[in-house]
Amino acid sequence: MSFGQNVAATKIELLKYKRSSQVATMVQKILDDKRKVLLKNIEEMITEANKARGGIWEPLQDVYKSVNDAYLSLGTATVDSVAQSTPAVMEVDTKVKRVVDVTIPTLNVTEKDTKSMPYGFADTNSSIDRAAKQIKALLPKICKAAEYENSIFALAKALEKTQKLLNALENVIIPQYRLRIKFILSTLEEREREEFARLKKVKAVMEKKK
């Protein structure tokens, strides 16, 4: 065993490696529990993300159609001018939640207190009005879908890191501790046998002298 060259075969070292092995096993259990929780949350987030995505694709097609109609009927310059001069009517607040030890931002969309569309109708038409209303209704769903997507990536990254640590513990660290403990025990037992044999010889010599 080549690693034995760097291991002092003493009872103190044996105790140290036994304690280290116990700690590593405890950490392994904690990480395995964390891995299971992360997997469960990822599965739940994927389900919710699929639901959220499924509820926005068809409405988005209507939004694209309304915007396209506005560009075709009013021209690019007019539509862009309306878009740039129109103040925001929706606010997105960002907060943070924790899943296990992973920090995930959450998005909350609120509507500003406006009683009418913040642009005039003289140079616009119903296409812009329809697109604005559709986007206003769809924005909370888009933000929720984005929140789920971001959560999945963050949890998956944490899961990957957790799995790497688990693999290191299971395949390298814990087996190495066990091999070192076995080496020290074997060496101490061999020394005890040698010491017993030596004492036996000494006893035999002393008996002969008597």
- How do 102-111 and 90-99 pair as beta strands? antiparallel
Specify the range with the lowest mean pLDDT, choosing from 35-49, 160-174, 190-204. 190-204
Residue 76 has pLDDT above 70, yes or no: yes
Which residue reads 């500003």 in tokens? 112
Residue 170 has pLDDT above 80, yes or no: yes
Q: Where in the chain are the domains?
A: 2-204
State pLDDT tens for residues 144-164. 888 999 999 999 999 999 999
Q: Taking CA 19 as the corner, what is the angle to CA 13 and CA 20, rounded to the nearest 5 degrees? A: 85
Alpha-helical regions (H) of the chain: 11-54, 57-74, 76-85, 126-168, 174-209
CB atoms within 10 A of CB 38: 23
Residue 40 has pLDDT above 60, yes or no: yes
Percent of the chain having pLDDT more than 70?
88
Which amino acid is residue 45, in one-letter code?
Answer: M
Here the tokens at position 137 are 């209704």
Between residues 154 and 61, the one the model is more confident about: 154
DSSP state letters, 88-109: P-EEEEEEEEEETTEEEEEEEE
Which CATH number describes the domain made up of 2-204? 1.10.287.3240
Residue 205 has pLDDT above 80, yes or no: no
